[in-house]
């Protein structure tokens, strides 16, 4: 493992508990036992129950749905679009050109652009027309 990877792992471990506590405080629906405590599971070769699930075996999907429900009205979410180009001005991304599901091309400028791409392990369900 590289030095950079070790630092990333250490940072995730250091912040993990706090981030989970924050998600719980904000109402993320993690699985609970009959007393309301987090229901921890065991996976793989683990000897201790330490895996926190949400929605049973659909933790990623449940977490994404929860986070999407927390978005402010000023944040615009465009799903199932294909980015064609990024608009760059003096080294800064100032917008994006994308194609929607119908093939129409759109351009949008913004003070901040966040691209979240994925599909790993069916985390994001594809909607077909």
Q: What is the pLDDT of residues 55-101, one digit of tens each?
A: 988 888 899 899 999 999 988 888 888 899 999 999 999 999 999 88
Q: Are 80 and 124 in a shared domain?
A: yes
Same domain (yes/no): 78, 38:
no
Query: 8: domain range?
Result: 1-69
The domain boundary residue, chosen from 29, 51, 69: 69
pLDDT at 6 over 70: yes
Residues 19 and 81 in one domain: no
Q: Do 18 and 59 share a structural domain? A: yes
Q: What is the pLDDT of residue 78?
A: 83
Q: What is the pLDDT of residue 127?
A: 61
- Same domain? For 45 and 78 the reply is no
**Res 115 pLDDT > 70:** yes
Looking at residue 80, its pLDDT comes to: 81
Predicted local confidence at residue 84, as pLDDT: 92
Summary mean pLDDT of the chain: 87
DSSP for 29-94 reads -B-B-TTSSB-EE--TT-SS--EE-BSTT-HHHHHHHHHHHT--TT-----S-EEEEEEEETTEEE
pLDDT of residue 124 exceeding 60, the answer is no
Domain boundary pick from 25, 41, 69:
69
- The residue out of 69, 93, 113 marking a domain boundary is 69
Q: Which residue has the higher pLDDT, 117 or 22?
A: 22
Indicate if 20 and 32 belong to the same structural domain.
yes
pTM value is: 0.66
| Residue 118: per-residue pLDDT | 64
pLDDT at 27 over 70: yes
Based on the structure, what is the number of domains in the chain? 2
Does position 120 have pLDDT exceeding 80, yes or no? Answer: no
Q: Are 59 and 101 part of one and the same domain?
A: no
Q: Which residue in 78, 122, 124, 77 sits closest to 101, CA to CA?
A: 78
């Amino acid at each position: 493992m590289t030095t950079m990877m070790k630092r990333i792992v250490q940072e995730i471990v250091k912040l993990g508990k706090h981030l989970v506590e924050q998600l719980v405080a904000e109402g993320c629906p993690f699985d609970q036992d009959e007393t309301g405590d987090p229901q921890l599971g065991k996976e793989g070769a683990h000897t201790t129950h330490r895996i926190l699930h949400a929605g049973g075996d659909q933790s990623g999907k449940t977490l994404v749905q929860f986070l999407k429900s927390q978005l402010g009205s000023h944040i615009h979410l465009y799903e199932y679009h294909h980015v064609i180009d990024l608009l760059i001005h003096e080294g800064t991304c100032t917008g994006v050109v994308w194609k929607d599901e119908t093939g129409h091309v759109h351009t949008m400028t913004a003070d901040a652009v966040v691209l979240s791409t994925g599909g790993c392990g069916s985390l994001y369900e594809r909607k077909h027309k």
